Amino acid sequence: MNRRQMLALAVAAAAVPVLSACAGDTRQQRQAAAPTKSGVPTLDPDRPGNDTWPYEEAEQLDNSLTWPKTDVPDPASKVTITVAITADVIAEVRNAQFDFFFRKRHPNIEIKRETSPFDAYLTKYMAQAAGGSMPDVIYTHYSWAQNFIANDVFEPLDPYIARTPAFDKDDLPVKALGFYERDGKLYGLPTDMAPKLLYFNKDVFDKAGEKYPDESWTVEKMMEVARRLTSGTGAEKIYGLTPMLLPEPDITPRCLAQYGGRFLNEDESACLIAEPAAQKVLGMWLDLLRDKAVPSLAELNQVLEKVEPFKVGHAAMSINGAWSLTELAKQKAFRWGTVPIPKGPEGRFTPVIGSALAMYARSPQKDAAWIYLNEYLSAAGQQFRRISAPARQSAWEPNAEALGIPEDVVEVVKNAMKEYGTSDGVLKLPANKKVVETAKPIWERVMIGKTDLASGLKEITEKVTPLLAENKIA
């Protein structure tokens, strides 16, 4: 890494936004707004487990799976690899179990795990990269990866994949791989990858005598029903729809593309958010906010304490990722269902997004790191960890069955991935973090009425445009 690249990472580390997390099993995931505890609870080193993840169940599952092989040889003597991820304490029990059984298969590979809160993760490891030192295996969010890749932090994985004959690249959706590719090389292997869906609370719909959403719904229909289903005040309020639309990396396929709008153009070199199509959609969401059908900033921060209302039964509908399925499947407070995000005049779209693991380009233990990556991110590894939105498509159905996710919901997800899910329009190039960080406070002023819509979008365009030069240089 040259001096320019080190400086770029150091500057980026000082000014990164908090982005929404993506993960699979909600036992491995928390709401991005909530701080995550780090570290593994005290476990029996010979039989790691707890009530959520009993050791006996983990051992039986591990023995039932076919673990992948690679032509990359195990080290001849003891080595240690450091694995940096973001997860909660419950997920770390499962990770500890994975590491336990992995070491039985590979006794010369010791694993040192670093677990950090999602909100602090990017800043921490950008600073480490700028200093020339990183863990051997590194978690990356889809929106961070190109920044690391552009600064030569990640190692290309293609040579290792070539030495792994059983590696099934076709089992990973093309949409998932694009976030981690550059100049024909692959720098990360996705661990989770899923579309966003429209979830609905059947109890709220039944009480109001409303028909459930279906594939015929348009955006206008969703907003019309959201207004009708909004009721109550304060802590008892039921919102028609959550969350409020924000200028986040996936805003284009989530809501703008349905009307032909975009946040940035295809190569992320120009800001289009003030164009008529995007402005129309954002105006529709502002009207929904003014009708109090979606949570305001004040309600989210004060009344709701940053808890997603739908998950606690206080919203009729929510647009969220398939990684929420495990948490919803386990809760007993209300009945729920899911359908595709409603269509607009230009069609139906949904972002397909997720996370990955990568290898540090300067790791002294690359072979051992690959052996770990190959197993952790294999279909067997994703089944062992019970991810509800696995990037490995062959792991979807066995995991869904084990986690109690209804078959009809699985079909909605699979159809979204196949038919209309897209990564087009999802911001991924190096400037995207600064773009979001710059746009959000301006948009928040528009939300609270301190700036009108047209002026706010013009200001976003003016302030974002200079930042996009970073994408052209990268």
> What amino acid is encoded at 377 in this protein?
L
- Say if residues 464 and 429 touch (Cβ distance below 8 Å): no
- Per-residue HEC secondary structure of 279-332 comes to HHHHHHHHHHHHCCCCCCHHHHHHHCCCCCHHHHCCECEEEEEHHHHHHHHHCC
- What is residue 32's predicted lDDT score, i.e. its pLDDT? 32
Helix (H, G, I), strand (E, B) or coil at 233: coil
Residues 168, 171, 174, CA angle at the centre, nearest 5°? 110
Rounded Cα–Cα distance for residues 85 and 116 (Å): 7
Count Cβ atoms below 10 Å from residue 97 Cβ, excluding itself: 25
Whether the predicted pLDDT of 18 surpasses 60: no
Percent of the chain at pLDDT > 70 equals 90
Residues 384-407: what's their mean pLDDT? 91
Which tokens hold the place of 379? 């279909």
- What is residue 37's predicted lDDT score, i.e. its pLDDT? 41
Q: How do beta strands 109-115 and 79-85 pair?
A: parallel
CA distances from 369 to 33, 373, 383 (A): 31, 6, 20
Residue matched to tokens 């908090």: 18
294-343 confidence digits (pLDDT tens): 999 888 777 566 678 999 999 999 999 998 898 898 889 999 999 999 99
Query: In sequence order, which ranges of 346-431 are alpha helices (DSSP H)?
Result: 366-376, 379-384, 396-403, 407-415
Residue 138: closest CA among 435, 373, 298, 413? 373
User: What is the CATH code for 195-352+424-473?
Assistant: 3.40.190.10
> What amino acid is encoded at 24 in this protein?
G
Residues 454-462: what's their mean pLDDT? 98
- Say if residues 425 and 247 touch (Cβ distance below 8 Å): no
CATH class of 3-193+353-405: alpha beta
Q: Where in the chain is the domain with CATH 3.40.190.10?
A: 3-193+353-405, 195-352+424-473
- What is residue 176's predicted lDDT score, i.e. its pLDDT? 78
Whether the predicted pLDDT of 222 surpasses 70: yes
Helix (H, G, I), strand (E, B) or coil at 29: coil
Residues 358-378: what's their mean pLDDT? 97
H/E element holding 200? strand 188-201
279-290 confidence digits (pLDDT tens): 999 999 999 999
Entry pTM: 0.87
* Residue 473 banded pLDDT, cuts 50, 70, 90: low
